[in-house]
A = this chain, B = another copy of it.
Amino acid sequence: MTNVTVVAAGNGGAAIAAWLSLKGCKVKIYDKFESQLAEIKKTGGILLRGHYLSGFAPITKATTNIEEALEDSELIMVVTPAFAHAEIARLCAPYLIHDQIVVLNPGRTGGAIEFNKTVKEINPEASFTVAEAQSLIFACRITGPAEVTIYEVKRKMAVAAMPASETQRVVSKLNPYFPQFTAAKNVLETSLANIGAIFHPAPTILNIARIEAKKTFEYYREGISPCVAEVLEELDKERLELAKRIGINIPDAKSWLQDVYGIPIAPSESLYEAIQKQKAYRGILAPKDPFARYITEDVPMSLVPLSELSKAFDVKTPVMDSIICIANALHKCDYRSIGRNLKTLGLEGKTKEQIIDLVS
């Protein structure tokens, strides 16, 4: 029986907490907001629905106190937007002293690097391993008070620890409950495989007036027109060039679609055609908020770190940089300075070799 803490009690956090509890773990749940925890406290657990696993999942403790939440915990599952990771690292830093494993679900790009650096700055004696999952393992939603429904469970999920020498230990810890987790080469692989960097900011920006007018349209099938898909292909080329320079293997966007959704895509087919074929994308509506997470999270936490890593590896990323620049103008902010840049990742001034050493 593993002692687990789940941070925080949103859709994904509630689902992971309930799943692990029903799989036999002793689960505590932390959230910043008391209101998120009230119903769980009242009922003493979470009702899990869905055809993969269901039942009432007891939760040992639901608390807004991080010290209480982490006490005796071996595994900390962080399930929050990526822009919360640094703050969570700061909160957890004093209590990571027993070689705990922290898994970011997901890390987006540079999540584990940022978490590791943030904790060590605050607590140089900290004893822990942080890992990042490629994506969130479930498609799920909170469907009632202290109730969550899991619609889909992904069949395969890459994870990597920081440093990579710890990845096997993390996989072994997760596999009894999630056999889908497999080891990636290192956190640069999970970070670069973040397909959200390609699929989220650019289509949102290239449909921004329509989104701001709260028009209803399908995000993938209508929002990614042939011209928009050309931009995504250019973004993807930049990402693949960085991967090549680092020496890691990641699938391009079309191969990723084929791997994840199982529909064969011919080499002659364009990314536009490949996206149009995906049944999984039918009916997925575009956000109705121009400040949607597809920009506010994926620009600073996905595109910015890809662009910044590219600087360190001498790869030119004019299209990524342009999307970041337009996002800054649209939102009147500076996503590069508030996002995961070389400085906040602790990589400023490091050579390519030093960066690869750091994650190995």
List A residues at the B interface (Cβ < 8 Å).
203, 205-210, 212-213, 222-228, 230-231, 234, 290, 318-319, 321-323, 325-326, 329-332
The 8 Å CB contact of A212, one of B205, B227, B234, B325, is B227
User: With contacts A205-B206, A326-B319, A326-B323 known, is A212 near B231, CB below 8 A?
Assistant: no
Bound form: Cα–Cα A212–B228 in Å = 9
Bound form: Cα–Cα A191–B221 in Å = 40
Are B212 and A210 touching (Cβ within 8 A)?
A: no
User: Which of A209, A231, A318 has the most CB atoms of chain B within a 10 A radius of its CB?
Assistant: A209
Are A212 and B225 touching (Cβ within 8 A)?
A: yes
Specify the chain B residue showing the minimal Cβ separation from A318.
B325
Given contacts A225-B290, A230-B330, A322-B323, 5 further A-B contacts (CB under 8 A): A207-B207, A208-B225, A209-B224, A212-B227, A234-B329
Are B203 and A206 touching (Cβ within 8 A)?
A: no
* Chain B residues, Cβ within 8 Å of A329: 230-231, 234, 319, 322
* Chain B residues, Cβ within 8 Å of A206: 205-206, 208-209, 326
User: With contacts A205-B206, A210-B207 known, is A227 near B322, CB below 8 A?
Assistant: no
The 8 Å CB contact of A326, one of B223, B224, B326, is B326
* Chain B residues, Cβ within 8 Å of A330: 227-228, 230-231
Bound form: Cα–Cα A325–B324 in Å = 12
* Chain B residues, Cβ within 8 Å of A319: 325-326, 329
Are A225 and B213 touching (Cβ within 8 A)?
A: yes
Specify the chain B residue showing the minimal Cβ separation from A295.
B227
* Chain B residues, Cβ within 8 Å of A227: 208-209, 212, 290, 330-331
Q: Say what secondary structure dominates the interface of chain A.
A: helix
Least CB distance from A103 to B in Å reads: 35
Are B212 and A226 touching (Cβ within 8 A)?
A: yes
Q: List 13 A-B contacts (CB under 8 A).
A: A206-B208, A208-B227, A209-B225, A209-B228, A210-B210, A212-B226, A230-B329, A230-B332, A231-B329, A231-B330, A318-B325, A319-B329, A323-B326
Bound form: Cα–Cα A224–B213 in Å = 10
Least CB distance from A337 to B in Å reads: 14
* Chain B residues, Cβ within 8 Å of A213: 222, 225
Are B322 and A231 touching (Cβ within 8 A)?
A: no
* Chain B residues, Cβ within 8 Å of A323: 322, 326
User: Which of A231, A319, A321, A329 has the most CB atoms of chain B within a 10 A radius of its CB?
Assistant: A329
Are B209 and A326 touching (Cβ within 8 A)?
A: no
Bound form: Cα–Cα A321–B210 in Å = 24
Bound form: Cα–Cα A326–B205 in Å = 11
Are A209 and B230 touching (Cβ within 8 A)?
A: no
Are B322 and A326 touching (Cβ within 8 A)?
A: yes
The 8 Å CB contact of A228, one of B208, B224, B230, B325, is B208
Least CB distance from A113 to B in Å reads: 26
Bound form: Cα–Cα A234–B322 in Å = 14
Bound form: Cα–Cα A347–B244 in Å = 39
Specify the chain B residue showing the minimal Cβ separation from A207.
B209
* Chain B residues, Cβ within 8 Å of A332: 230
Q: Which 8 A-B pairs have the closest CB atoms?
A: A322-B322, A212-B225, A209-B225, A322-B325, A234-B329, A231-B329, A227-B330, A227-B290
Bound form: Cα–Cα A321–B331 in Å = 18
Specify the chain B residue showing the minimal Cβ separation from A215.
B210
